[in-house]
Amino acid sequence: MESGNYFKDKYTRIEIAFFITYYLLFPVLTAIEVHIFEPYPGKFNIGENLLYGIIGMVPPWICYKIVIKGYLFNKKYLKFFLSFILYLALSKYYDIGIYLLISKISFLPADVIEQAARSYSINIKYNLGHFVSVYMLRELIVLSALAYFIRSARQDKQIGDLKEQQLQSELNYLKVQLQPHFFFNTLNNIYALTLQRSEKAAPLVAKHSEMMRYILYESSQNTVSLKKEIGFLRNYVEVEALRHSDKIDISFDTQGINELVLIEPLLLLPFVENTFKHGIREETSEGYVHVIISLVENELFMEISNSKPAMVKQETKGIGLQNAARRLDILYPDRYKLDVKNNDDSYELRLTLIVKTDD
């Protein structure tokens, strides 16, 4: 990790907060509690407690970073054991050295110097050889627990980020698949009308140019406003209406659509496209396609129904519908409901989405 980004890391900040709380704040609060409820001779000095707390954090920090994270986590058990024994021994010498140093600093308050000298004498006389204590083992357990928690949290985040990257790659792949699929279909439509020298060819090309612009410039974004997406779908339905017989009843109605709601581009297109391509493609008599899209608060409802010729059976899912269903699974897990009724003479689809707003 670069030094400039050291404190930007969330888990580093958690480590620092833990050490400040455990080695500085808790001892100070304990000293205050003892001073209030179990007063001993001598004056309570918060500055002294802060001084010893800050100095006392150094050995545990070294143990945490080198002994536990450096050796224990890397399964260097011999180095871990030897370095921890060394840490236990040197930490006592460290305390004694700190007491001796503070007792020699003349500008400190007299009571602080006197207390440091007393602590130095006691540690020299009684505690020099007794460095393996319950306190030190407890400290090892606490620091190890912190280290394992941080490592587990980091691993969970890395796995989550990896899954998110994989899903994003899959979404991009699905979107890339969908675009050529749509381009080929629209080019076939234009080609067919051009061969017929139909008057509908010119407005069809104009509508297609708007749709192509949307696909090229808007669909590369993660989300677009629902209003833009609905405008694109409206153009698509109007294009299909130009291609089909006047006997086909084609309608596209919307309610409550606004620009504050966001949706993934081209998410709804395959469902609308399917009703024309696989529903009324062979319809020669009177038929219908009805599309209704409405927004109520954060719920988007889309209902599509179309007639089917009696002799034509609904085809299996094409690439567009397969991609759309997969995108819904990825983008709206547990936030969508899709119902399809494929009858002999009609096809009905109802989609409900819990959408996002641009706050």
Checking if the pLDDT of 22 tops 60, the result is yes
| Secondary structure of residue 357 in the 3-state scheme | strand
Is there a domain that residue 211 lies in? yes
Is there a domain that residue 331 lies in? yes
Residue predicted with more confidence, 160 or 249: 249
pLDDT at 166: 61
Contact 310, 266 (CB under 8 A): no
Residue predicted with more confidence, 150 or 246: 150
- The domain that contains 192 carries what CATH number? 3.30.565.10
Instruction: Give the helix ranges, DSSP H, for 105-225.
Output: 110-122, 134-195, 201-217
Same structural domain for residues 198 and 257? yes
- In tens, the pLDDT along 231-243 reads 989 988 887 887 7
pLDDT at 201: 67
Of 79, 247, 59, 229, residue with least CA distance to 135 = 59
Checking if the pLDDT of 48 tops 80, the result is no
Q: The domain containing residue 323 runs over which residues?
A: 163-357
Same structural domain for residues 353 and 209? yes
Same structural domain for residues 114 and 192? no
Same structural domain for residues 328 and 211? yes
Is there a domain that residue 51 lies in? yes
Contact 219, 229 (CB under 8 A): no
pTM (2 decimals)?
0.53
Same structural domain for residues 175 and 282? yes
- In tens, the pLDDT along 194-214 reads 766 666 667 777 777 777 788
Nearest-angstrom CA–CA distance, 215 and 273 = 15
Give the alpha-carbon dihedral of 276, 282, 283, 284, to 10 degrees. Answer: 140
Label residue 306 exposed, middle or buried (CB < 10 Å: 0-12, 13-18, 19+): buried
CA atoms within 13 A on the CB side of 168: 10
- Cα-based distances in Å from 339 to 3, 131, 191: 54, 71, 34
Is there a domain that residue 151 lies in? no
Same structural domain for residues 76 and 195? no
- In tens, the pLDDT along 262-279 reads 998 888 888 888 888 766
pLDDT at 342: 86
pLDDT at 163: 67
Is there a domain that residue 149 lies in? no
Q: What percent of the chain has pLDDT over 90?
A: 11
Checking if the pLDDT of 41 tops 70, the result is no
Q: Mark which of 78, 112, 132 sits at the end of a domain.
A: 132
pLDDT band of residue 180 (cuts 50, 70, 90) is: low
Q: How far from chain centre, in Å, is Cα 57?
A: 34
Is there a domain that residue 8 lies in? yes
Is there a domain that residue 138 lies in? no
Same structural domain for residues 321 and 225? yes
Checking if the pLDDT of 93 tops 50, the result is yes
pLDDT band of residue 128 (cuts 50, 70, 90) is: very low
Handedness of CA 241, 242, 244, 246 (dihedral sign): positive
How many domains does the structure of the chain reveal?
Answer: 2
Residue predicted with more confidence, 152 or 115: 152
- In tens, the pLDDT along 168-178 reads 655 555 555 55
Same structural domain for residues 44 and 191? no
> Across the chain, what does the average pLDDT equal?
78
* Lowest-pLDDT choice from 53-62, 133-142, 347-356: 133-142
pLDDT at 336: 92
pLDDT at 319: 60
pLDDT band of residue 185 (cuts 50, 70, 90) is: low
pLDDT at 351: 95
pLDDT at 80: 86
Residue 260, number of CB atoms within 10 A of its CB = 14
CA atoms within 13 A on the CB side of 336: 22
Checking if the pLDDT of 181 tops 60, the result is no
Is there a domain that residue 336 lies in? yes
